[in-house]
Amino acid sequence: VKVVLMCGGIGKRMTPLTKDKSLLQFSGKPLLLHQINCARNAGIDDFIIIANPENIDPIQTLLSSLQNVRISYAVQEKSLGMANALLSTASLIGKEPFILVSSNDLFTSMAYTQLLHEYQNNNFTSYITALRIQEYFPGGYLKVKSNAEIERIIEKPPKGEEPSDLINIVIHLHKEPEILFSYLSTTESTSDDIYEKTLDRMIEDGYKIKAVPYTEPWQAIKYPWHILDTMDYFAQFIKSDISPGARISNKAIIDGNVIIEDKVRVFEGAIIRGPSYIGRNSVIGNGALIRDSSIGNDCVVGYSTEIKHSYIGNGCWFHSNYIGDSVIEDDCSFGAGAITANFRLDETIISSRIDGDRINTGHDKLGAVIGRGCRIGINSSIMPGITIGANSFVGAHINLTHNLETGKMALSKSEYMILPNLWSISENKREDLMKKFKQ
Amino acid sequence: VKVVLMCGGIGKRMTPLTKDKSLLQFSGKPLLLHQINCARNAGIDDFIIIANPENIDPIQTLLSSLQNVRISYAVQEKSLGMANALLSTASLIGKEPFILVSSNDLFTSMAYTQLLHEYQNNNFTSYITALRIQEYFPGGYLKVKSNAEIERIIEKPPKGEEPSDLINIVIHLHKEPEILFSYLSTTESTSDDIYEKTLDRMIEDGYKIKAVPYTEPWQAIKYPWHILDTMDYFAQFIKSDISPGARISNKAIIDGNVIIEDKVRVFEGAIIRGPSYIGRNSVIGNGALIRDSSIGNDCVVGYSTEIKHSYIGNGCWFHSNYIGDSVIEDDCSFGAGAITANFRLDETIISSRIDGDRINTGHDKLGAVIGRGCRIGINSSIMPGITIGANSFVGAHINLTHNLETGKMALSKSEYMILPNLWSISENKREDLMKKFKQ
Amino acid sequence: VKVVLMCGGIGKRMTPLTKDKSLLQFSGKPLLLHQINCARNAGIDDFIIIANPENIDPIQTLLSSLQNVRISYAVQEKSLGMANALLSTASLIGKEPFILVSSNDLFTSMAYTQLLHEYQNNNFTSYITALRIQEYFPGGYLKVKSNAEIERIIEKPPKGEEPSDLINIVIHLHKEPEILFSYLSTTESTSDDIYEKTLDRMIEDGYKIKAVPYTEPWQAIKYPWHILDTMDYFAQFIKSDISPGARISNKAIIDGNVIIEDKVRVFEGAIIRGPSYIGRNSVIGNGALIRDSSIGNDCVVGYSTEIKHSYIGNGCWFHSNYIGDSVIEDDCSFGAGAITANFRLDETIISSRIDGDRINTGHDKLGAVIGRGCRIGINSSIMPGITIGANSFVGAHINLTHNLETGKMALSKSEYMILPNLWSISENKREDLMKKFKQ
């Protein structure tokens, strides 16, 4: 059984981030490698990767050194959805059973193990991983019979009308690809759900599809703030690992599970609380505090900076900042006193404008999302849920209240009056002040 | 001899604070308890408390568990001054000698001891505690004969025309309540001084009233900044006392006399300088600095925050703030970078607008006075002596230059220009920067 | 051989600094003393100081206690350049050989040693110290023959057309003062180069002048930012020296070569990285970070302040600031959160407007230059290369984008809206927040 991993989507919903989702690093490894390893831990070593024209090269480079694994690549020329991706890869997939996986989902290898187990002990046409949920989630619910056979897939039923507590997650084993492809090629839809409609039509026609309940950790990555959730997902598995090549002051504090890579320097008084990750070559300055965060390579987290539950790319510079619940790509730098607000004064859920739509992020703590190569001036304030496009400047002393597009420069309009000043300090005053202090 | 403690005043002058003065905690105990204890230390255990409709219930609850003490309660329906308070309590007071005390004054039990001593060894109608002062103070001065008998009470004489260095403090022993009440009920005045005029009339009619000089610490509480003075008053008596239930990092520094209550957590690098008080369940974060301050229960003083000579209520949150010489009620929180200015650039005495009047606070260091349930946005600046009413928001990045009323929201109008930005970072620049740093 | 040290220039180009350059302290000693010592280390102890009416008194006071040295003083009444300075001192200089030195230059005693050596072993009329440079510098280039005899001095040739890699530095030995004075008195020029033209005329007339190459450290002091370069120059020679009268917490960190003077206090968690200098009586607060800087006497560097590569005068106060690459004269103080930006977002070289001209500072890191007795309000931002005149106020929360003249007050115009706020905090919310934190 091979895994077909769909990495071909173009992440408009990840704006303003510029890096391909599959290549984002978590705990020091690109997401795609984590996903490949997840399958391999279940004994699978045969893969088809469906990439897009942008990410095919780096993906091939990334995976080229993997051993004892067979990987074929397909390129989906245009981002036309799952059905299109599958059909254009049909000949590569062939007639053998395969597991279709979306690279937007994170899960443990148990999902594979369960599918394989069911497939070996039953005789259904397809097996669908069904996430068992505790509270309402706007996804595709599975209506199932007592033997777990699926009767229907119901997309986003109103709250209270869910047919079960089982959500469809795209980790699907198809025993007979030819049947699937034949249905796929004859299903029509105006929206992006041809694949799901295909499964429905197969069920209607009597093919048997089984729901395989899954209860381990799961996380989707659609929007930028999901990077923080994904970071948390991988944080569960972080074990303390400090490179012998790192130079860590004995007056620094490393607390909890922290990975510190080669050539990192941690100065006196710095505090790193796990689960956290510090990439190669980065510098954590005096008294800086990092908690529940991932810091990339070549970063400088300077004096008096707190980075709290944030995902920081490579080559970023901070000093005297508070960065909370934020996602910051490579090569950004922050002037002293620049702050990301991560909590609304009214404590309500934070929304964010992505690709023209205002999206409820589901988080009451969320800072900024900043594309690569940005510069943030001193004493600037960035409001919760704001996005800043790549290669943009936020000038000094600005309160950034709206998203800033790629390649823009926001400059302060703030003015001041100039008046004469008749006051002047005397020697006495200086001595007075000093005496007061010395007391 | 019983003590009649007047707690019935409604503190307009304490705006924007919402909590009754008598219930404010100092060193972990409500002010009223301190005042009761002060009398009990002088051997008095019989009390009449004159409350108002607002504070009568919490006061009764507070005192209900006291043992070996008799307390009667009276409610002054309207805030009509001392004379009214006394007359409406006349039947409760009865005919036995009593000591009248204003809850606006703080003093040591020596004041009671002195009054009782004089009363036992002399035969005056009344005894008035007379604070001996070093420099001019705008109060009621006592003109006295050589045997300390009072000739007249002179309200606020001009500086240089004071008849003595003795100020009238309302800790008055009246041996014959009936005489006092009879005069009280026939004294008329358009202003709030019927009680003082009554004493004058008694003197004119030949009743003998003695001044009893007092030289120990004394403090009045009329305006919000007096809470800082009161905090200092009690700070003199603080002895180090760290609850065994507190968790204090051995990398934190506790210096001087500090009370730390149960379940407090103090993180690495935090510094608490005494005299200070940290209430139950509060968290002092990494590297935070607290000095000469009182922190309530359930507070979080986060990373990189300095709280200097301030009085903080319960449930307040800070991180990356400077809070100096400020009074902050319960449930307020401060965004990172929000700062209270506590010193004018021209170093002059700070004034504050209270209930419509601009009051000279007498302090050259004074920060903000903030009512309960306020939220202060990131990078906000609050000018010296400013008050903020309860349940108000100060938006991010605001320079608050005027008082903010209760239930208001101050939002930034600050604007910025958006221009194209042609700059972009190159790999080389990143390496250059890194090399510079690593040198 | 005596040294004639020209200290008579009035430093318009040092605006807004008010202190005479020669009296500025480096490593605890005035610049002039360093310069005198430099000559004495080469065995010279005969000096003529050309001062101006402003600095003659403090200079005489300063040097009065020097032993085993002969110093004569001349006053240049008006700032009319080198030729004027020399001619007005001609009688004092007399007929013996002398070395002319500008107090604007810093160099090691090797420059003197070399000149004296050449003078003893050759027979040229004058000897000119010639700085051997690595890259283009806008100065006076020396065209020399193979025997180092100077053919011509070429002022600021275009880049690529330099006649040599030798720059004229005013450390000149003149064997025959009378010849020099006679030429000086007959040279005319409309610009400030009479002295250089004089040398050219002497060469034309057949007098032989030799270039004496110098390759040791050299630094000019013309503009305020050169004070930082000068600080770096002297920093090379700093050796660790901590006064026994200093009180330094054993929880503070002193790293590298640091001079700490008498009565300095360094609190817990403070970090001082060398090369740095801390003047008498100064206080370095908890967790403050000082690196590559010079701090004067009577300063307070409070909690959470970073001072990086800056020159700070006496009696300055900081708390919760970032001060980078800045020059700050005596008696300035900074409110919490005030920050000097020291790096442009576009990373280009910083320019500064001095005495009406925009000057390229040659530095990509430069903060503010602030005259004595200034006050900077809380949360203010000061842009790179900005100068602030003496006795000026920068109000709270200002983004200072232009130079501020002497004796001015810049006040915020920032406004805000006031709206009703219907939100209020509940007990539940407080407990929720606390629970979240405690997890």
Task: Work out the minimum CA distance from C414 to partner chain A, whole angstroms.
Answer: 7
* C286 interfaces chain B, CB cutoff of 8 Å: yes
**Burial per residue of C275-284, b for 16 or more beta-carbon CB atoms within 10 angstroms, e otherwise:** bbbbbbbbbb
Q: Are C287 and C269 in contact (CB under 8 A)?
A: yes
Compute how many other C-beta atoms are within 10 angstroms of the C-beta atom of residue C375. Answer: 25
Cβ <8 Å between C422 and B407: yes
Per DSSP, which regions of A175-240 are E strands?
A: 209-214, 218-220
Question: Longest Cα pair distance anywhere in chain C, in angstroms?
Answer: 96
Task: Work out the minimum CA distance from B100 to partner chain A, whole angstroms.
Answer: 38
Q: Does position A240 have pLDDT exceeding 50, yes or no?
A: yes
Q: Is A328 exposed, middle or buried (0-12, 13-18, 19+ CB in 10 A)?
A: buried
* C247 interfaces chain B, CB cutoff of 8 Å: no
Q: Is B187 exposed, middle or buried (0-12, 13-18, 19+ CB in 10 A)?
A: middle
Inter-CA distances, C394 with A136, B363, C370, C380, Å: 55, 22, 11, 8
Over its C-alpha atoms, chain C yields an Rg (Å, rounded) of 26
Q: Which helix (H) or strand (E) holds C382?
A: strand C381-382
Q: Does position B117 have pLDDT exceeding 90, yes or no?
A: yes
Chain centroid to Cα C435, Å, comes to 55
Q: Are B311 and B325 in contact (CB under 8 A)?
A: no
* C29 interfaces chain B, CB cutoff of 8 Å: no
Backbone dihedral angles phi then psi of residue B238, each to the nearest 5 degrees: -70, 130
Indicate the SS3 state at residue C314.
coil
Contacts of A64 (CB under 8 A, 6+ apart): none
Among the listed ranges A421-430, B206-215, C275-284, which one has the minimum average pLDDT value?
A: A421-430
* C110 interfaces chain A, CB cutoff of 8 Å: no
Q: Are C359 and C223 in contact (CB under 8 A)?
A: yes
Cβ <8 Å between C421 and B289: no
Q: Which of A268, A346, A424 sits opposite C423 (nearest CB)?
A: A346
Q: How confident is the model at residue B10 (pLDDT cuts 50, 70, 90)?
A: confident
Compute how many other C-beta atoms are within 10 angstroms of the C-beta atom of residue C427. Answer: 9
Q: Does position A439 have pLDDT exceeding 50, yes or no?
A: no
pLDDT for position C439: 45
CA distance A201 to A420: 82
Q: Which of A306, A341, A408 sits opposite B396 (nearest CB)?
A: A341
Q: Which of B271, B283, B411 sits opposite C416 (nearest CB)?
A: B411
Cβ <8 Å between B378 and A341: yes
* B375 interfaces chain A, CB cutoff of 8 Å: yes
**What is chain B's mean pLDDT, rounded?**
93
Task: Work out the minimum CA distance from B18 to partner chain A, whole angstroms.
Answer: 21
One-letter amino acid for residue C417 of the chain:
M
Q: How far apart are the first and last CA of chain A?
A: 79
pLDDT for position A11: 74
CA distance C271 to C250: 11
Task: Work out the minimum CA distance from C423 to partner chain A, whole angstroms.
Answer: 7
Cβ <8 Å between A337 and B337: yes
Contacts with A331 from chain B: Cβ below 8 Å: 425, 430
Q: Does position B437 have pLDDT exceeding 60, yes or no?
A: no
What DSSP assignment string belongs to B174-186? ES-HHHHHHHHHH
pLDDT for position C434: 60
Q: Which pair of structure tokens corresponds to residue C201?
A: 């005329």
CA distance A301 to A332: 12
Inter-CA distances, C405 with A430, C185, C226, C369, C371, Å: 23, 39, 21, 12, 10
Q: Which of A287, A320, A415 sits opposite C322 (nearest CB)?
A: A320
Q: Does position B439 have pLDDT exceeding 50, yes or no?
A: no
Inter-CA distances, B112 with B2, B96, B116, C250, Å: 11, 17, 6, 48
Q: Which pair of structure tokens corresponds to residue C160?
A: 């690529």
* C279 interfaces chain B, CB cutoff of 8 Å: no
Instruction: Give the tens place of pLDDT for each residue, A76-90.
Output: 988 788 888 999 899
* B3 interfaces chain C, CB cutoff of 8 Å: no
The CA-CA-CA angle for residues C72, C73, C75, to 5°, reads 160
Inter-CA distances, A150 with A153, A192, B421, Å: 8, 21, 54
State which residue of chain B sits closest to A399, comparing Cα positions. B397
Average pLDDT for A212-232: 95
Cβ <8 Å between A421 and C345: no
Long-range contacts of A387-390 (CB under 8 A, 24+ apart): A387/A15, A387/A16, A387/A224, A387/A352, A387/A353, A387/A354, A388/A16, A389/A15, A389/A16, A390/A16, A390/A18, A390/A329
Instruction: Give the tens place of pLDDT for each residue, A255-288.
Output: 999 999 999 999 999 999 999 999 999 999 999 9
CA distance B181 to C217: 92
Average pLDDT for A335-364: 93
DSSP state letter for B9: -
Q: Does position B427 have pLDDT exceeding 70, yes or no?
A: no
Cβ <8 Å between B315 and C377: no
Q: Does position A437 have pLDDT exceeding 60, yes or no?
A: no
Average pLDDT for B111-133: 96
The CA-CA-CA angle for residues C306, A259, A110, to 5°, reads 145
* pTM (whole model) above 0.90: yes
One-letter amino acid for residue C78 of the chain:
K
Q: Which of C347, C421, C430 sits opposite B392 (nearest CB)?
A: C421
Contacts of C204 (CB under 8 A, 6+ apart): none
Contacts of C17 (CB under 8 A, 6+ apart): C11, C224, C227, C327, C329, C369, C371
CA distance C271 to C269: 6
CA distance B218 to B216: 6
pLDDT for position B329: 97
pLDDT for position A189: 80
Among the listed ranges A215-224, B326-335, C85-94, C189-198, which one has the minimum average pLDDT value?
A: C189-198
Inter-CA distances, B439 with A267, C19, C44, C226, Å: 15, 33, 38, 22
Among the listed ranges A142-156, B410-424, C13-27, which one has the minimum average pLDDT value?
A: B410-424
CA distance A279 to A401: 31
CA distance C34 to C27: 10
Inter-CA distances, C205 with A80, A111, C142, C194, Å: 88, 97, 17, 16
Cβ <8 Å between A303 and C289: yes
Optimal mutation site among B345, B413, B416, interface A, most CBs of chain A within 10 A: B416
CA distance B335 to B323: 12
Q: Which of A346, A373, A413 sits opposite B415 (nearest CB)?
A: A413
The CA-CA-CA angle for residues B162, B164, B166, to 5°, reads 110
**What is chain A's mean pLDDT, rounded?**
93
pLDDT for position C63: 96
pLDDT for position B431: 64
State which residue of chain B sits closest to C422, comparing Cα positions. B407
Nearest of A236, A239, A258, A240 to residue A107 by alpha carbon: A236
DSSP state letter for A21: G
One-letter amino acid for residue B390 of the chain:
A
Q: In terms of pLDDT, which residue wins out, A191 or C176?
A: C176
Chain centroid to Cα A120, Å, comes to 34
* C205 interfaces chain B, CB cutoff of 8 Å: no
Map tokens 């980790």 to a residue.
A171
Instruction: Give the tens place of pLDDT for each residue, B69-84.
Output: 999 999 998 878 888 8
Average pLDDT for B260-270: 97
DSSP state letter for A158: P
Q: What is the mean pLDDT of each run of 10 residues along chain C (439 residues)?
A: 91 90 95 97 96 94 94 90 90 95 95 97 96 89 94 90 94 96 90 88 95 95 96 95 97 97 97 97 98 97 98 96 98 97 92 92 96 96 97 96 96 89 66 57
- DSSP strand pairing (C393-394 vs B408-412): unpaired
Q: Does position B436 have pLDDT exceeding 70, yes or no?
A: no
Q: Are B226 and B19 in contact (CB under 8 A)?
A: no
State which residue of chain C sits closest to B287, comparing Cα positions. C287
Q: Are C320 and C341 in contact (CB under 8 A)?
A: no
Task: Work out the minimum CA distance from B81 to partner chain A, whole angstroms.
Answer: 40
ipTM of the complex: 0.91
Question: Longest Cα pair distance anywhere in chain A, in angstroms?
Answer: 97
Contacts of B292 (CB under 8 A, 6+ apart): B232, B235, B273, B274, B275, B276, B308, B309
Average pLDDT for A318-338: 97
pLDDT for position A414: 74
Contacts of C120 (CB under 8 A, 6+ apart): none
pLDDT for position A77: 87
DSSP state letter for C190: S
Interface subset of A 320-359, CB within 8 angstroms of B = 322, 324, 331, 337, 339, 341, 343, 345-346
Cβ <8 Å between C378 and B283: no
pLDDT for position A434: 60
Cβ <8 Å between A434 and C315: yes
Average pLDDT for A23-43: 96
* B413 interfaces chain C, CB cutoff of 8 Å: yes
Q: Which pair of structure tokens corresponds to residue B37?
A: 């204890």
Inter-CA distances, A299 with A25, A330, B110, Å: 15, 9, 64
Q: Does position A374 have pLDDT exceeding 60, yes or no?
A: yes
Q: Which helix (H) or strand (E) holds B226?
A: helix B226-235
- DSSP strand pairing (B381-382 vs B339-340): parallel
Compute how many other C-beta atoms are within 10 angstroms of the C-beta atom of residue B262. Answer: 12
Contacts with A300 from chain B: Cβ below 8 Å: 437
Optimal mutation site among A266, A376, A421, interface C, most CBs of chain C within 10 A: A421
Per DSSP, which regions of C125-270 are E strands?
A: 126-132, 140-144, 150-155, 166-174, 209-214, 218-220, 241-242, 247-248, 253-255, 258-260, 265-266
Task: Work out the minimum CA distance from A4 to partner chain B, whole angstroms.
Answer: 35
Contacts with A418 from chain C: Cβ below 8 Å: 404, 408-411
